[in-house]
Amino acid sequence: MKLGNQVEWAIHCMELLARVPDGVYIPTKVLAKFHGIPKEYLSKALQALALAKLIDGTLGPKGGYRIARKPSKISLLEIVEAVEGSKKTFHCQEIRLNNPCLPKKRKQADSICAVASAMYQADEAWRKVLREKKLSDIIRGVDRQVPPELMAASTHWIQSALD
Amino acid sequence: MKLGNQVEWAIHCMELLARVPDGVYIPTKVLAKFHGIPKEYLSKALQALALAKLIDGTLGPKGGYRIARKPSKISLLEIVEAVEGSKKTFHCQEIRLNNPCLPKKRKQADSICAVASAMYQADEAWRKVLREKKLSDIIRGVDRQVPPELMAASTHWIQSALD
DNA sequence: GGTATTTTACTCGGATAGTCTATGTCCGAGTGAGTCTGG
DNA sequence: CCAGACTCACTCGGACATAGACTATCCGAGTAAAATACC
């Protein structure tokens, strides 16, 4: 039970995309260099985000990605699900139906397995936190942590990279 | 982000082991046949549970595993962690430290990344549910779902298999 | 000078290898029950 | 009949293959900007 690195990358990139002025596109190349991660592979995560309509991309010079919605309208769950898929963390195999005492005909579940139910509750608790946590909250948190001069330098660095 | 099948197997086996009278050992072979899962691989999950002191095993004829504690004293989290490991679901890579604007000397994190913090909160919510859900709750849930005659037949099946 | 056209360099997007964990299988060391033997 | 020693089948435990998923990389189709030619 482990999340891939793409999740971290995706959230950081979304946070950065949310900071640039409207209408500005940032290419994968710049996002990758800024975060020090492999460009080609990051591309896959961004593709997933684009497919989920969280960002949209444009081709050609001055192209790249921009955020598709306001940060307050994007939850972390959407980002995580876009990258990792929306399947539940626990997949019930219904091994209780393998019980040799069970008559052959009743090989179908009529209720949710108690084990699966418990695991689904845990899964839902996890999702609930991510659903209520918005991208805007992340931005606020980062603002509180990063010193203003570093933030300004970063903004400037991005600007230069776009030319 | 997906849990392995071993988790499901482990919980079902624990539930079964909790139903057997004190002092009775059930071998992997029987557990595997009853649940219709590969014996050899299930063995790995049971080994993990034994290592975590949730069950203990005995060798020789009439050997096998028995539960080590009362079901009300065993949480699902313990079972899951025994099988899947206790590492967090999200591992922060600190890619924020790759920021090219960051002075070389300050390449160390002095606070928890806002992204990681959010993910950890979700992780903890998931754990909390599993921590509060005891094995005894699962047993109660199964009792409510399984018809008495099937339960009796299963008990009898296990008994026969032990001879 | 302004506009339409062409070029062009840059972007995303999907198809392609490598690596690591999860899955499934195998056999050997150890042990406790059952059996046999002797008193 | 009972006690002790022995045999032996059965157990767990760890070492050994296989499969799927995650990670990383490449190149081509498409496009929007920029340069160019023309009016």
Angle B113-B114-B115 from CA coordinates, rounded to 5°? 90
Q: Using the CB atom, is residue B141 less than 7 Å from strand C? A: no
Beta-carbon-side half-sphere exposure of residue B137 (alpha carbons within 13 Å): 16
Q: What is the pLDDT of residues B88-143, one digit of tens each?
A: 999 999 999 999 998 876 666 678 999 999 999 999 999 999 999 999 999 999 99
Residue A111 has pLDDT above 90, yes or no: no
Cβ <8 Å between B138 and A9: no
Closest CA to B96 of A148, A69, A34: A34
For B115 and D9, how far is CA from C1' in angstroms?
Answer: 57
User: Can you tell me the mean pLDDT for B152-158?
Assistant: 95
Closest CA to A50 of A9, A10, A87: A10
User: Can you tell me the mean pLDDT for B3-10?
Assistant: 96
φ, ψ dihedrals at A90, nearest 5°: -120, 125
Q: Round to whole Å and give the CA distance between A33 and A20.
A: 17
DSSP of B29-68? HHHHHHHTS-HHHHHHHHHHHHHTTSEEEE-STT-EEEES
Helices (runs of H) and strands (runs of E) counted in chain B? 7, 2
Nucleotide nearest to B3 (CA to C1'): C22
Nearest to B125 among A87, A128, A142 (CB): A128
pLDDT score for B64: 95
- Nearest chain B CA: its distance from A56 CA (Å): 22
Q: Round to whole Å and give the CA distance between B136 and B74.
A: 8
Using CA atoms, how far residue B114 sits from B66, B110, B117, in Å, is 44, 12, 5
Nearest to B114 among A5, A100, A138 (CB): A138
Instruction: Encode B80-117: b = buried (16+ Cβ within 10 Å), e = exposed.
Output: bbbbbeeebbbebbebbeebeeeeeeeeeeeeebbbbb
Q: Using the CB atom, is residue A44 less than 7 Å from strand C? A: yes
Residue type, B109: A
Cβ <8 Å between B93 and A138: no
Helices (runs of H) and strands (runs of E) counted in chain A? 7, 2
Q: What is the pLDDT of residues A116-152, one digit of tens each?
A: 999 999 999 999 999 999 999 999 999 999 999 999 9
Cβ <8 Å between A102 and B150: yes
Q: What is the pLDDT of residues A8-43, one digit of tens each?
A: 999 999 999 999 999 899 999 999 999 999 999 999
Query: Strand D nucleotides below 7 A of a protein CB?
Result: 9-15, 22-27, 29-34
Cβ <8 Å between A8 and B128: no
A108 pLDDT band, cuts 50/70/90, is: low
Residue A115 has pLDDT above 80, yes or no: yes
pLDDT score for B17: 97
Cβ <8 Å between B145 and A89: no
Which 51-110 residues of chain A approach strand C with CB closer than 7 Å? 57-61, 63-65
Q: Are B145 and A106 in contact (CB under 8 A)?
A: no
What residues of chain A lie within 8 A of the CB of B133, using their CB?
118, 121-122
What residues of chain B lie within 8 A of the CB of A12, using their CB?
95-96, 115
Q: Are A15 and A135 in contact (CB under 8 A)?
A: yes
Residue with tokens 């500005």: A24
User: Which H or E run contains B9?
Assistant: helix B5-19
Of all protein residues, which has its CA closest to the C1' atom of C24?
B41
pLDDT score for B163: 80
A7 pLDDT band, cuts 50/70/90, is: very high
Q: What is the pLDDT of residues A44-64, one digit of tens each?
A: 999 999 999 999 999 999 999
Cα torsion A18, A81, A133, A3: sign: negative
Q: What is the pLDDT of residues B11-67, one digit of tens each?
A: 999 999 999 999 899 999 999 999 999 999 999 999 999 999 999 999 999 999 999
pLDDT score for A87: 92
What residues of chain A lie within 8 A of the CB of B150, using their CB?
99, 101-102
